[in-house]
């Protein structure tokens, strides 16, 4: 079964600072990878998805970007964080022909 | 695109009683409906799912029912226990590259 590693678990950053969140996946190859954001007390919003190395699609316009430098690595970045970027960021994975979507443990980002 | 509505937003039940959470979806072509449980500070965990070719699926104390005609599906938890307290999300296929569209979540509180 697949395992999703996300780090860091918690991050406090000042406004205007850069961001890099990393997600790596084990136990599957050529997965679809996703970044979701969850605002406090709200549902899950899909930010980016990737079907392969170097292939990134954005679902919503925003201050963030994503990259997939390796098959099982997905990175969420920002050059300058905004207060509105605060939230709980979740990496998710769907492997092969499996329709099941699995989530990592998440990163709680606070921008102050 | 798919729209998923989830009710209620908060549900409080006595320990040992049953809990029911309901969701509706808009896309009649949707064929896969998962449920996730999210504990505080953790990523959502897939607890049960159902495909559109069946009307009900059970796994110990949890069950999911699906009414394709009415386009709604429900999560049933029997003999509730304190560890069932969490936020529960329903979902249906939506978003790019076979992502999921989520309901806004139900905060289930089990009263001792």
| Residues B81-102: b if buried by 16+ CB within 10 A, e if exposed | eeebbbbbbbbbbbbbbebbbb
Among candidates A108, A111, A84, which has minimal Cα distance to A21?
A108
Compute the nearest-CA separation of A82 from chain B (Å).
22
Query: Quick check: A100 contacting B, CB < 8 Å?
Result: yes
Alpha-carbon Rg of chain B, whole angstroms? 13
Measured CA to CA, the distance from residue A1 to residue A71 in angstroms comes to 17
pLDDT in tens, B17-74: 999 999 999 998 899 999 999 999 899 999 999 998 889 999 999 999 999 999 999 9
Max CA separation in chain A (angstroms)? 41
Interface test with B, best of A44, A60, A99 (most B CBs within 10 A): A44
Interface test with A, best of B99, B101, B104, B106 (most A CBs within 10 A): B99
What's the confidence (pLDDT) of residue B97? Answer: 73
Helices (H) then strands (E): counts for chain A:
0, 11
* Nearest CB to B105; choose among A4, A43, A108: A43
The residue ranking higher by pLDDT, A29 or A56, is A56
């Amino acid at each position: 079964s697949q395992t999703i590693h996300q780090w860091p678990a918690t991050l406090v950053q000042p406004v205007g600072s850069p961001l890099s969140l990393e997600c790596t996946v084990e136990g599957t190859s050529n997965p679809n990878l996703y970044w979701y954001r969850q605002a406090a007390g709200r549902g899950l919003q899909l930010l980016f998805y990737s079907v392969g190395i170097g292939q990134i699609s954005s679902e919503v316009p925003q201050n963030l970007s994503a990259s997939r430098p390796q098959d099982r690595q997905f990175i969420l970045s920002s050059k300058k964080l905004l207060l509105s970027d605060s939230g709980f960021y979740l990496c998710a994975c769907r492997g092969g022909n499996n329709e099941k979507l699995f989530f990592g443990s998440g990163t709680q980002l606070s921008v102050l | 695109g798919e729209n998923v509505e989830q009710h209620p937003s908060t549900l409080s039940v006595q320990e040992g009683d049953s809990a029911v959470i309901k969701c509706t979806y808009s896309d009649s072509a949707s064929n896969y409906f998962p449920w996730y449980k999210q504990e505080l500070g953790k990523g959502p965990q897939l607890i049960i799912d159902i495909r559109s070719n069946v009307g009900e699926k059970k796994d110990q104390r949890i069950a999911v029912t699906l009414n394709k005609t009415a386009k709604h599906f429900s999560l049933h938890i029997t003999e509730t226990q304190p560890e069932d307290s969490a936020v529960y999300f329903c979902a249906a296929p939506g978003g790019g590259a076979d992502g999921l569209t989520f309901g806004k979540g139900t905060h289930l509180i089990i009263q001792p």
